[in-house]
Structure 1
Amino acid sequence: MLSKQGLCSRTVATRWVLAGRVAVHGRVVLNPEFPVPAQDLGSVSIDGRALRPPEGVYLMLNKPRGLVTTTTDEQGRETVYRCFDGAGLGWIAPVGRLDKASEGLLLFTNDPGWAARITDPATGPHKRYHVQVDELPDAAVLRTLETGVDCDGERLQATGARLLRSGGRNAWLEIVLAEGRNRQIRRLMAACGLRVLRLVRVAIGDLALGQLGKGQWRRLEAAEITLLAGIDWSPPAA
């Protein structure tokens, strides 16, 4: 319940409850799964203070390559939270993920409900990527990326795949995904005989990365927040 209100992560909320810091109607609750109806949130207190959900925070970050998308890392690698050092944003969580070697548009919020709408394949926006591969794929390969391949028991496919530009030994493709699966683009490319050299997420729905510098972030405007949480989505034009 505390994490759903954007006050902290689920792990921290569980720790607070087990430590006896959370009360409902003045009685300490020790069960992290104790149900509290949304209309009854005013009865919850932490360390004797009434629960007051924080103001919503909605951000976009241009994730640099080499950072992992997690709050802490057991291997001691640098995380995306390095980009927010000193910003005083309170608890925020990434909306979806980009792996360590990937870069580009990554959203953050303290609003779990909003995040769920965006990451839900049924309601969320398409994601657009620019992908550099190690050779020039022909039309048949681009069709295969869209029709899909079976990979480790999963059917992987792109909603859209087109050639952006090519050089002597490599090419840039635009790939559109309707949902995000673990390393989906890299696995899909490998199944088609292509090796990914760079992978940049450039847009989520109509929200484009634009000119935001590497490692920089900004708050989303009200219209962007509403638009991203919409239902009627179409893939970007090919």
Structure 2
Amino acid sequence: MERLQKYLARAGVAARRDAEQLILAGRVKVNGKVVKELGFKVSDRDVVEVDGRIVKPEKLVYILMYKPAGYITTVDDPFGRPTVLSLLAGKVKERVFPVGRLDMNTEGLLILTNDGDLAMALTHPKHQVPKTYLALVRGTPNRAKLKELERGVLLEDGYTAPAKVNFKKPEGKNSWIEITIHEGRKRQVRRMFKKIGHPVLKLIRTRIAFLTGYGLKKGSFRYLTPAEVLKLKRLVNSNRG
């Protein structure tokens, strides 16, 4: 027996936190009855429905994608914008969902999976999973400005955690800056650079923990190896705090 939200995550419906919202919204039935209790437990013998569709756990899969700009990182979009799942259509039979988010105009690495436990662990700030970005910013931040980012800057939702920041190279009147963070606030990197007066012109996520985009072209993906999945799980377990 397991909690209903964990079952839904294991079935690839959504990450566990999003699954909890589905339950609270009354969109989930167990054996024909609506269940709104987050602690409700089910087994693989129960019939679980989401919006009238029966869902069952599938084989766990782990995908690393290079997301192009112009795609949103949601399962579906009411405005009809292209989602990252459209890049998997006809290629991946399991229902997967993005781990965390990249905004529509940001490109780079994104993990997709139907493993709700790992997805939740990778996105929880206490596990401190590092994510590295290359940002083309307007102008040239001086060392004092970069130090501000390293120490943490005050945004509308509080101070950011310390970051690792490196000046990479100039590009005309602008600059490429590498920044590594382990939080996942909405549009965080863009907001951080705007705070110091150097707004982002282009943003690329180049690394998630030890994973890089080597061999991936824009819009392409690959399955993570069992060794990589194990390493990710060990990473989040070692960073529990």
TM-score (norm 2): 0.83
User: Does the aligned pair in 1 maintain the 2:136–2:177 contact within 8 Å?
Assistant: yes
Report the Cα offset of residue 15 of structure 1: 3.8
1:3 aligns with 2:3: no
CA distance in 1, matches of 2:55, 2:200: 47
CA distance in 1, matches of 2:175, 2:108: 18
Aligned partner of 2:102 in structure 1 is 98
Change (3 A) 1:55 1:159: same
User: Does the aligned pair in 2 maintain the 1:125–1:228 contact within 8 Å?
Assistant: no
CA distance in 2, matches of 1:101, 1:134: 16
CA distance in 1, matches of 2:228, 2:37: 33
1:4 is paired with a residue of what secondary structure? helix
Change (3 A) 1:186 1:213: same
Structure 2 residue aligned with 1:137, among 141, 144, 163? 141
Aligned partner of 2:111 in structure 1 is 107
CA distance in 1, matches of 2:90, 2:169: 39
Structure 2 residue aligned with 1:68, among 68, 72, 77? 72
The letter for the 2-side match of 1:140 is A
Change (3 A) 1:214 1:34: closer
1:135 is paired with a residue of what secondary structure? coil
Structure 2 residue aligned with 1:206, among 186, 207, 210? 210
Show structure 1 runs of 4+ deviating over 6 A: none
Change (3 A) 1:14 1:137: same
CA distance in 1, matches of 2:157, 2:122: 25
The letter for the 2-side match of 1:44 is D
Equivalent positions of 1:1-238 (< 5 A) are 1=4, 2-9=7-14, 10=19, 11=22, 15=27, 17=29, 22-23=30-31, 28-33=32-37, 35-37=39-41, 41-46=43-48, 53-229=57-233, 230=235, 231-232=237-238
User: Does the aligned pair in 2 maintain the 1:60–1:108 contact within 8 Å?
Assistant: yes
Report the Cα offset of residue 227 of structure 1: 1.3
Change (3 A) 1:138 1:228: same
Aligned partner of 1:236 in structure 2 is none
1:122 is paired with a residue of what secondary structure? helix
Listed one character per residue, the Cα deviations across residues 76-98 of structure 1 (whole Å, up to 9, x for unaligned) are 21111121111242321110000
Determine which structure has more spread, i.e. the larger CA radius of gyration: 1
The letter for the 1-side match of 2:221 is W
Change (3 A) 1:43 1:54: same
RMSD: 2.4
Matched positions, count? 221
CA distance in 2, matches of 1:199, 1:117: 24
